[in-house]
Structure 1
Amino acid sequence: MTQRSEQLVLDYLSEVALMLHGRASARERTAYLTTLRSRIEARRAAAGRDEETVRRILLGLGTPEDLVERDFGGRDLDLEDDEMIPPKPRHADRPPPPWRGGPSHGLLSLLEGPGQTETSVRGRARTVGGLRGLGLVVRHHGPEAAALGLLLLTVPWGWNLAFVWVLAAALIVLSRVWTARDKWVGVGLPLLGCAIAMALWPGEAKFIDRYIQESLPATGVIGLGLASLVSVFLLYPRVLRSARAEERSAGTPG
């Protein structure tokens, strides 16, 4: 067991505990974290305790947000029962993103995703900007960054670059960062947008093959590009959180 791999587990459990706030009582929260720790330790005992193995184990469990949503989805405590509400962690006091009523810092704040927060580095507070977030994604998750870039290339449909979506879809499917649900979003949403746009084509064609040939370049690529843009905004926050976790673990002394 290395100190770095153990720190990865502790960071993961800390994030799960934060997500449990307001969804479980203090007793349930402690029991759930104990059970989760046992599950992780059982997998470590079977697969190994090195840092890379621990990362794979945690990725297999899913993000803390997905894990709590899966086990406690839709549940909320009675806010009038003060004894049931666990104390709010200090690190939960962070400004919400702009789409949840928090301060807006322009377009880069949208790209930054829900993980944006003010962090303290050696006693000095600083705001992690959007460009730094992009740099972390490129550094730690190059294939995923390339997939997002290729998706963006499909947006200007007038450039006839819709074919690069196939490359982006392949990178998304092969990703070890995005979950199965994320992959369905990244691949299925653009296809659905393309199909809907083709169905809205105002022209006429007697045969289905002729209809596809004419509606795809006319309206299909537009739906593909717009849906790909939506996919980028949905997939980017998750890969950004994963890149930040990689950066924290890399900065932890071994």
Structure 2
Amino acid sequence: MIERADQLVLNYVSKAADAAHGVLRADQRLDFAKRLRARIEEERQGSQNAREVSRLLARFGDPVALVEREARRLAEADAAARRGSGAASPEPAAQSAAGASQEGAGTGGKGATLRFPAIVDDRDPPPGVQAYRKIAQERLGRPPGRALPFAGLRRAAMSSANPMATGGRDARTIVKEHPRDTAALALLVVAALLVPFGLPALAIFEVPVLVWAVGGVLVLLSASWSARDKLVGAGAPLLGYSVGGVVIGGLRVGSEPGVQAFFTQFYDVSGTMFMIGTGLGVVWLAYRLLDLS
């Protein structure tokens, strides 16, 4: 999701720019935002992975804190200029930061931050921080085959959370980024919910089947799922209706003889099995959509 990774950067810079309102002058705020964006892109190194970009931005820290530090530096620079000491030098943290870059610093002139500090982890954190950091690194480095089960669905429950804290994936952003896919899932759910109402057929087709067909076509035309996921999600309702109806209906017939008894039981349970199959298919498609990287 290239657009999602870019959106995370834009959101972060926008938060910093919003925090700078009333704190920095308009020209200072614009220059600060431009240089912050340039430094993020430098550290990002072209990465389009939303999770990696989220972790990078987390290491930059709170945008409000960056603005406060910039305001303090500008105030010190202004005080130094009034004392006749010339242009202010960068703050000590920026001078000592390894790998700090002046590219993208802009031409802000007086009051322009020459560089942002390099992003480095603490060298000697407390023992407790070291232990939890090790656990977090092990989880982040877990191979795809050993990923925590249904991690995507747990992130979906955090729809009001900061996308940076959910790896760039949550229910709200999924709906915004995949409106057609979301509509397809909604149609499949509606098709299952219409089964108990016993609506009159349109021509020779039952209404739930028509609604399912529209949703299934949208699923098959989607570029978000793999071919296997599409077959599982769109085919599960039919599989439940046919195979589930035959198996459960046959078990319910028991010792009652005759084909008529079998068909009676089949039609009694096939609708319920269609609903179960639809539910399983929708859950699978939603999980795969949320688990995209």
Asked if TM exceeds 0.5, the reply is no
TM-score relative to the length of structure 2: 0.39
Higher relative contact order, structure no. (Cα contacts within 8 Å, ≥ 6 residues apart): 1
Larger radius of gyration: 2
